[in-house]
Structure 1
Amino acid sequence: MGTRDWSWILVTTLVALMLKEVLTSSCPTVCHCQPVDRVSRDKTRMFNDCSNRSLESLPEHYSHHALKLNISFNRFSKLAADFFGKGSHDLRSVFLNNNSITAIAESTFRVLPSLWMLDLSGNKLETLEKYTFKNNTSLWSLILRGNNIKLPANTIFLEAPFLVRLDLSYNNLETLDDNTFLSMNKLKSLRLHNNRLNSLSKSWFRGLKNLHHLFLEDNNLHYLNPDTFVYTESLIELSLSRNNLMISSGQPFLRIHTLERLYLNGCNLTFLPGMMFEMMTRLRYLFVSNNRLRTLDYGMLVYFEDLVYLNACDNLLSCDCDLKDTWQWCKYRNIKADVNCGVSGQILEMCAGSWNVVGDLVCNATTTTITPITTTSTTKTSTESPPLSSPEAVSSESSNVGLFAGIGIALLLVVLIALGIGYWHYSTRRSSHPRQDPHMTTRLVDMLPFHNEQDEY
């Protein structure tokens, strides 16, 4: 190894040691700091982890070159206006979850102009000043899960016009206000699950025209007006699972033309009426597992033009003729369906694909009895017909019947023409050639068309 190689190794080692010294000197002693990305030759942005250190105030140099700051699981109780000191222009993500925070000053986060994500979950917050995040124009995600937030009446919740994701789950919310989300016109994801909401008003969602994802599972909802989400013009995912919902058979369930994913798991549903999904023609994923459904009428599914997945596991379905049309409908449209049903009163435990047993049954058109299809080791005889809702199948079957009828009529005409020609030849011969033996009876060979008398003997 030459002198030049040794020099290169020495320089690299010295640079690494110097970089380590710089990073170590800028990292608080109670924190663990690691580089995230390098901005320039002399600046590297860091992830400073100061979590679970029993801190009651921020350590010195907490934000030096920090891109992310984790100060969760400490003992912060109140965030005063000077909590972040002079602040930081680089800090984008702050984790303050699982402390004991009860109050936040209105100007606490103003010194963090680049704040993009803030996690305040698992604290003891009851109120927030509505202008707390007014100057945080980069704030994209706010997590308030697991507090005890009480929303103000007759006014907006927060002035956060640039917020995209908001999590208010597990806050014991019993009601919302018509103005709660009025200033959040860019919100795309709203989590309100695991609260105590027992009804919804369409005016609560005014201003949320860009909302894509709404999570309302595990509340106390019972009846929903079909126009509840009339203001959410862009909604594509809605979760209502584990609410004791009441479904009306005389009207559509919800009028949401843009919806693509609907979760109705564990809603104590006993039936799904035919008109239920009439206003959801773009639905692609439907989840109705863990209910008390006894039938899946394919008539309710014909509204779906783009359905690709159906989950109806763990209901009270029976593997009988009532399920056959739905099975065929899913099969001929290549829809992945996870459904299990009962045979002889026992529900098949395995859900994925277990209802394929329905496809191996032949149903009598006049009764509900089921006859198994006979199969052999080399050939399989299948008598299943195309689904009733398939116009292509009906047209194909009608065409086949017409073809066979035409062929039969043509063959009958050929036979009649041949018999007529034969009878004409026979009559002509009888009149031009008298019988040689008047006592002989007419023989069969004499009646054959084109008979040659030279071949009689």
Structure 2
Amino acid sequence: MATAAAEADGALLRADCSDRGLTAVPANLSAFTSYLDLSMNNISKLPSNPLHNLRFLEELRLAGNGLTYIPKGAFAGLFSLKVLMLQNNQLSQVPTEALQNLRSLQSLRLDANHINYVPPNCFSGLVSLRHLWLDDNSLTEIPVQAFRSLPALQAMTLALNKIHHIPDYAFGNLSSLVVLHLHNNRIYSLGKKCFDGLHSLETLDLNYNSLDEFPTAIRTLTNLKELGFHSNNIKSIPEQAFVGNPSLITIHFYDNPIQLVGKSAFQHLPELRTLTLNGASQITEFPDLTGTTSLESLTLTGAQITSLPKTACDQLPNLQVLDLSYNLLEDLPSFTACKKLQKIDLHHNEIYEIKADTFQQLVALRSLDLAWNQIAIIQPSAFSSLPSLIKLDLSSNLLSSFPVTGLHGLTHLKLTGNRALQSLISSENFPELKVMEMPYAYQCCAFGACESHYKIPSQWNKDENSSTDDFHRRETSMLQIQDERDLEDFLLDFEEDLKAHHSVQCSPPPGPFKPCDHLFGSWLIRIGVWTIVVLAFICNAVVTATVFRSPLYISSIKLLIGLIAIVNTLMVVPKGISF
């Protein structure tokens, strides 16, 4: 038999006998052992009183053995035991009597077994137990009677079982319970009073179950701070759904087929920080968030909201992130009262105009996404008071002009998809710009894209090599530079060099088929192109008619020529229309 590794812990000893191939509990353990690890061995049976002389033992680990049964008296004499680990064994039920009257026990792990039954009195006398793991077992119901003996319990997990229903008063005597995990079960129904008695509960996890209805039983949980019921089958959230949970900070309810939400569902939640609701397709009104003043992030996407109330920001003074994408918004109120907003996402709506006061005085706003709307008008001063804005997306709208006032701090600008926007935009208005997407390639020329494209390759490489050589020369002569002038002057010059080499990544880049000159702004060229299109159409039509005039017999060569003519016609017509 392998010997245990022991080390002193003051006057007491710690014995590590894990993963040593043991088939029984060692018999020569010191009476002063306070920690004993017997995990990952081959101990399949425990005799009665195997550890009765270890009066100072505080932690016992028996995980990862082949235990199938634990007899009465197996832990007799362990008056100081605080932690008992029995996970990853082969137990089919909680020991009926072996755990009783372990009055100092605070933590008990029975997870990852095959437990399908919990005897009514198996936890009798565990007056100090605070943490209980029963997850990853085969339980089909809540062991109501067994839990009545655990008045000090603070955290319990029953996750990863096969529980399908929680009856009324299932946890009635657990008034000290703070955390309850019930995720990954098969729960489809809850008793209306199933959580009664959980006066201290702060975290409730009902994720990954089969609930069809909103868990109204939570209304008795007045101290609840974190609630999760995501990945269920809940289709609606009723009016005043959280009226009994004023302490809620976080609600997780994504991955539910939620289609309808009561307008007052999220009222009077003064501690709520984040609210995310995606794909609630039947929501037509913005929710009334009266009393939910601490909200920092609000996401309501994929609904049918057509307008926002003018008082929305008065209710949300601390809002930092607002995402209302994929709705039907046509008009926007003033967001001025939302002074802490840092990100606004309104893409894929029906917005037509950006008024002068819509985003006024949002000094913290950094990102604004207005892509895929119907925006045709932006008032000249619409962006004039956004000093922190660095990202602006107006792609795929109907813009014919673009106001630049107040946008000197932008680093990312997207205007692609605005086919009517043909004017050039000066690079002087965007000194910090790094990434830009324009409707046409020629508009990138103002940002240096043309020069970089048409530069002779050998000269480009030569310049690169020269720059590299210059850099190495600077590096090797740094000490001399420091002798000749102050380091501060040198750093200032180096920073100026970096600014001189500043370039903008602009797309689409100009090329042979996307010239810098806006050729088709000239009517002379347009008429010339249309003339060629008409001639090509007539000629191809004549060829097609000639080939297919006698369809009874057509040689393969004639058929090929006729098909080519048809394809040419189909290609020429849309090109002519686009010009």
Q: Shorter-chain TM-score: which interval? A: 0.5 to 0.7
CA 1:323 to 1:150, structure 2 compared with 1: closer, same or farther past 3 Å? farther
Decide whether the 8 Å contact of 1:263 with 1:288 is kept in 2: no
Decide whether the 8 Å contact of 1:198 with 1:221 is kept in 2: yes
Q: What is aligned with 1:187?
A: 177
2:246 aligned with 1:254 = no
2:223 aligned with 1:234 = yes
Cα deviation, residue 313, structure 1: 8.3
- CA deviation string 1:385-407 (max 9, x = no partner): xxxxxxxxxxxxxxxxxxxxxxx
2:219 aligned with 1:221 = no
Q: What is aligned with 2:44?
A: 56
Decide whether the 8 Å contact of 1:261 with 1:285 is kept in 2: yes
2:71 aligned with 1:80 = yes
Cα deviation, residue 282, structure 1: 3.5
Percentage of pairs with the same residue: 19
1 CA distance for matches of 2:331 and 2:367? 10
Q: What is aligned with 1:332?
A: 338
Decide whether the 8 Å contact of 1:155 with 1:179 is kept in 2: no
2 CA distance for matches of 1:56 and 1:326? 70
Q: What is aligned with 2:86?
A: 96
1 CA distance for matches of 2:57 and 2:212? 47
- Which amino acid counterpart does residue 151 of structure 1 have in structure 2? E
Q: What is aligned with 2:197?
A: 207
CA 1:234 to 1:338, structure 2 compared with 1: closer, same or farther past 3 Å? farther
Q: What is aligned with 1:455?
A: none
Q: What is aligned with 2:370?
A: 358
- Which amino acid counterpart does residue 83 of structure 1 have in structure 2? A
Structure 1: 5+ residue runs without aligned partners? Answer: 1-17, 33-41, 345-352, 382-457
Decide whether the 8 Å contact of 1:216 with 1:239 is kept in 2: yes
1 CA distance for matches of 2:249 and 2:67? 42
2 CA distance for matches of 1:155 and 1:46? 33
Cα deviation, residue 132, structure 1: 2.1
- Which amino acid counterpart does residue 173 of structure 1 have in structure 2? I
- Which amino acid counterpart does residue 206 of structure 1 have in structure 2? D
Cα deviation, residue 358, structure 1: 3.0
1 CA distance for matches of 2:14 and 2:246? 54
Aligned residues between the structures: 341
Looking at CA atoms only, which structure, 1 or 2, has the larger radius of gyration?
A: 1
1 CA distance for matches of 2:288 and 2:371? 20
2 CA distance for matches of 1:75 and 1:379? 70
Q: What is aligned with 1:266?
A: 255
- CA deviation string 1:65-120 (max 9, x = no partner): 5433322111011122122242241x222221111111333331235322111111
3-state DSSP class of the match of 1:276? Answer: coil
Decide whether the 8 Å contact of 2:273 with 2:295 is kept in 1: yes
Cα deviation, residue 205, structure 1: 1.1
Cα deviation, residue 281, structure 1: 4.2
Cα deviation, residue 269, structure 1: 2.5
Q: What is aligned with 2:149?
A: 159
Decide whether the 8 Å contact of 1:102 with 1:126 is kept in 2: yes
1 CA distance for matches of 2:37 and 2:333? 54
- CA deviation string 1:331-365 (max 9, x = no partner): 92536779795599xxxxxxxx9973139996869
3-state DSSP class of the match of 1:228? Answer: helix
Q: What is aligned with 1:176?
A: 166
Q: What is aligned with 2:105?
A: 115
CA 1:193 to 1:337, structure 2 compared with 1: closer, same or farther past 3 Å? farther
Decide whether the 8 Å contact of 2:12 with 2:32 is kept in 1: no
More divergent stretch after superposition (332-341 vs 299-308)? 332-341
Q: What is aligned with 2:96?
A: 106
- Which amino acid counterpart does residue 96 of structure 1 have in structure 2? L
- Structure with larger RCO (C-alpha < 8 A, sep 6+): 1
2 CA distance for matches of 1:242 and 1:83? 42
Q: What is aligned with 1:27?
A: 15
CA 1:376 to 1:192, structure 2 compared with 1: closer, same or farther past 3 Å? same
Cα deviation, residue 257, structure 1: 2.6
2:141 aligned with 1:134 = no
Cα deviation, residue 237, structure 1: 1.3
Structure 2: 5+ residue runs without aligned partners? Answer: 1-5, 21-29, 305-323, 351-364, 379-396, 411-579
- Which amino acid counterpart does residue 267 of structure 1 have in structure 2? N
Residue in structure 1 matching 2:294, options 306, 309, 314: 306
- CA deviation string 1:298-354 (max 9, x = no partner): 54445521112346689996467729859948x92536779795599xxxxxxxx99
Q: What is aligned with 2:404?
A: 375
